[in-house]
Structure 1
Amino acid sequence: MPPSGNRSTPVIKDVAQLAGVSVPTVSRYLNGTAKVSQEKREKIAQAIKLLDYKPSFVARALANKVMDSVTLLTSLSRYWATTEINSGAEHAARDRGFLFGVTSLDGISDDEIESTINRVLSANPAGVIVSESDEIAIQVLHQIPKDTPLVLIGGSRGDAPYQVMPSEREGGRVITEHLLGLGHRNVVHVHRPEGPNNNTRTLGWRDAMRDAGIQAVEAYQVGSDLEESVELGRKLAHDPNLTAIFAGNDETAISLIKGLRDEGVHVPEDVSVAGYNDQLFSRMWDPPLTSYSQNFVDLGAAAFEMLYAQIEAKRAGNPAPAPECRVIEGRLMVRDSTAAPRNAA
């Protein structure tokens, strides 16, 4: 039987008519919101196949009151780590049949926060993920309605009932301990601005220096302009006490190496340099870069799965899962950019 009227695209009414059931029954079958007898299920399935019917995502959302979608709110959206997190969350969402969207918080003012949240919530997402990296993200986090399934990526432990954290502080400690273990005592740290939390790479560097009984030397903060890091490398090349640098990300590490080389300093013969994030180009650099591999894709996937558990419980009318803070561990990747200092005993 062709679609009713002159429509070329079948609608749910056509499926119901061909299957000999009511429209609400087809809707229940599609949404899984109530039991449908096996006989009716078979008839509906056959009608859908014969008509090549594609369920309307919006219509299903209206029946469920929320969309089969989730939104991730993030700042620093242009950074590689953010892209990897988004990719992990998106793939996990797709595997569950959910659409995944990203709303950037880059450049918004305090006055725009409420309107941004309202726009996101007006699409009726089933849940929200907030990736915390600055004060704006924290403000957004606290303005999401309490009954909305929510997962926080990053932040300080306990910032939200449901939270997935990278091992940032642990990674900073591990990198620094690697350099100290090679015999370096003056491990300089160079980093970009970090989130207002207690899980930062810089704090891990300080932890390792303190535990080794060494007063932490100066930490340098740089921006995303890599030329700034190159210039800092040129400056540090003239520090006679410098033997090792822990850079807070791989791009900064490689830029520092360029600045050191510009001044005739060799890596790792004169100065060891370690990065963070273990980007693909790190192992191809000359020399291959020692780095800390942070599993950002796994981080995003874990955040969605934690959110999905809340969504399923809410839709089934069950109690929410127990609050959880999950830490996604990384690992040290030792390569040729770090070695024992020349004067090591």
Structure 2
Amino acid sequence: MVRTTVKTASIRDVAALAEVSVPTVSRFLNNPSRVSEEKQERISQAIAMLGYRPNPVARALVHRQMPSVAVFTTNTTLYGPSLVFEGIEDAAREEGLPLSICVLNGQDRSDLRKSAQLYLDQHPSGVIMLDFDNLDIDMTSLLPENLPVVTVAGDAKKANNQVTLGAERGGYEVTKYLLELGHKTVIHVALPHEGVKYSRMAGWHKACEESNAPIYAPISSDWDPESGVKIGHRLAEDDNVTAIFAGNDIIALGIIRGLNEAGKKVPEDVSVIGFDDQPLSKIWTPKLTTYRMNFIEGGKQAFKLLRTQIGDKQISTENGHVVVPGELIVRDSAKNI
């Protein structure tokens, strides 16, 4: 079979079809106001007919700058951050902008700054910060003041644009749902570094407070599902525990395992609800009731928010906060009492 190749339209092709010079097309692409309306119309039609797309690398060389976006995170293996990055990647691909991902290592400011500087030396046009760990150190303080930044997740940020994924609302809806099933209170098993304002914990606390339900100190877990199993063993010893809200699905599944091993049935004895709607949640026994986070859309919105601040787009001087809502997914792991 003979392989056929499709010739990609070049700026010279556009100029020839529009009957203008190559420099005129270049001016149109970089600053349309410098080109007459009549020529703008002809060039626009030529671009549409040829399916021409400017080469971002070539344009960067001309301007001595490579438009790019750096994504900073402390963990690439967790379910949520990996899907947010997928959303960022999808949006960046549509814009033709390259991405780099920076995994920040270390716990003190000096180590984190060294990790960040390796990528800042590449002069990215902007940074998207994935703050799912909600670190005590303000990560944006490591960046140049004039560099556009958008934070995804984490606690409230005053100094830059932010996309949150409705964690507080989700925590509220999960807790309210359990209380409406007749449970006197809800035990919350919190993720590491849960924040204050936009967190699952904040929503849980608000729902309990509104319903005058007893509020017990949250139980801390780590990212390992084994910690959920141990917590399940411990909570099974207290017959007053009838409803548990876990910070994510993996911890919830661990808790269910621990309760079962200790002789408690879910949902007959204890109702358990997770968070995120990971793939395992719908095939577990029982199928896990959870709160679905729209991580991919969150990534797309973060890129969109950053894109308004960089390149040839209109620069925004006002800080923005975009909330990407989720939804409660009712399955089989919670019941009324």
- Equivalent in the alignment of 1:331: 327
Q: Could you list the per-position Cα deviations for residues 46-104 of structure 1 after superposition, in whole angstroms to 9, with x for gaps in the alignment?
A: 9xx9xxx9987544323334322211111232110000111111101111111122111
Q: Describe the shift of the 1:70–1:32 C-alpha distance in structure 2 as closer, same or farther (beyond 3 A).
A: farther
Q: How does 1:19-168 map to 2 (within 5 A)?
A: 58-107=57-106, 109-134=108-133, 136=135, 138-168=137-167
Cα distance in structure 1, aligned partners of 2:156 and 2:110: 28
Cα distance in structure 2, aligned partners of 1:36 and 1:193: 56
Q: Verify the 8 A CA contact 1:157 1:325 in the aligned structure 2.
A: no
Cα distance in structure 2, aligned partners of 1:135 and 1:267: 31
- Equivalent in the alignment of 2:184: 185
Q: Describe the shift of the 1:22–1:144 C-alpha distance in structure 2 as closer, same or farther (beyond 3 A).
A: farther
Q: Could you list the per-position Cα deviations for residues 246-293 of structure 1 after superposition, in whole angstroms to 9, with x for gaps in the alignment?
A: 111000111111111112211111111100001122111111111001
Query: Could you tell me which amino acid in structure 2 is paired with residue 322 of structure 1?
Result: E
- Equivalent in the alignment of 1:3: none
Q: Verify the 8 A CA contact 1:66 1:125 in the aligned structure 2.
A: no
Cα distance in structure 2, aligned partners of 1:219 and 1:128: 33
Q: Greater CA deviation, 130-139 or 157-166?
A: 130-139
Cα distance in structure 2, aligned partners of 1:135 and 1:224: 14
- Equivalent in the alignment of 1:6: none
Q: Describe the shift of the 1:108–1:60 C-alpha distance in structure 2 as closer, same or farther (beyond 3 A).
A: farther
Query: Could you tell me which amino acid in structure 2 is paired with residue 61 of structure 1?
Result: A
Cα distance in structure 2, aligned partners of 1:330 and 1:116: 33
Query: Could you tell me which amino acid in structure 2 is paired with residue 216 of structure 1?
Result: I
Cα distance in structure 2, aligned partners of 1:147 and 1:255: 44
Quote the offset at 1:27 in angstroms. Answer: 6.0
Q: Verify the 8 A CA contact 1:230 1:255 in the aligned structure 2.
A: yes
With normalisation by structure 1, the TM-score equals 0.81
Quote the offset at 1:165 in angstroms. Answer: 1.1
Quote the offset at 1:119 in angstroms. Answer: 2.3
Quote the offset at 1:245 in angstroms. Answer: 0.7
Where structure 1 has 5 or more consecutive residues not aligned to the other structure, the ranges are 1-11
Give the secondary-structure state (helix, strand or coil) at the position aligned to 2:69.
strand
Q: Could you list the per-position Cα deviations for residues 219-249 of structure 1 after superposition, in whole angstroms to 9, with x for gaps in the alignment?
A: 2111122222112212211211111111110
Q: Describe the shift of the 1:109–1:194 C-alpha distance in structure 2 as closer, same or farther (beyond 3 A).
A: closer
Quote the offset at 1:121 in angstroms. Answer: 2.3
- Equivalent in the alignment of 2:291: 292
Where structure 2 has 5 or more consecutive residues not aligned to the other structure, the ranges are 1-9
Q: Describe the shift of the 1:295–1:60 C-alpha distance in structure 2 as closer, same or farther (beyond 3 A).
A: same
Q: Describe the shift of the 1:135–1:84 C-alpha distance in structure 2 as closer, same or farther (beyond 3 A).
A: closer
Q: Describe the shift of the 1:122–1:137 C-alpha distance in structure 2 as closer, same or farther (beyond 3 A).
A: farther
Q: Describe the shift of the 1:195–1:264 C-alpha distance in structure 2 as closer, same or farther (beyond 3 A).
A: closer
Q: Greater CA deviation, 93-102 or 81-90?
A: 93-102
Q: Could you list the per-position Cα deviations for residues 162-194 of structure 1 after superposition, in whole angstroms to 9, with x for gaps in the alignment?
A: 211111111111101100000001311112213
Q: Verify the 8 A CA contact 2:102 2:116 in the aligned structure 1.
A: no
Give the secondary-structure state (helix, strand or coil) at the position aligned to 2:130.
strand
Cα distance in structure 1, aligned partners of 2:134 and 2:325: 25
The partner residue of 1:320 within 310, 316, 322 is: 316
The alignment covers a number of residue pairs equal to 326
- Equivalent in the alignment of 2:6: none
With normalisation by structure 2, the TM-score equals 0.83
Q: Greater CA deviation, 76-85 or 226-235?
A: 226-235
Q: How does 1:184-263 map to 2 (within 5 A)?
A: 184-263=183-262
Sequence identity percentage: 36
- Superposition CA RMSD, Å: 3.5
Cα distance in structure 1, aligned partners of 2:72 and 2:299: 12
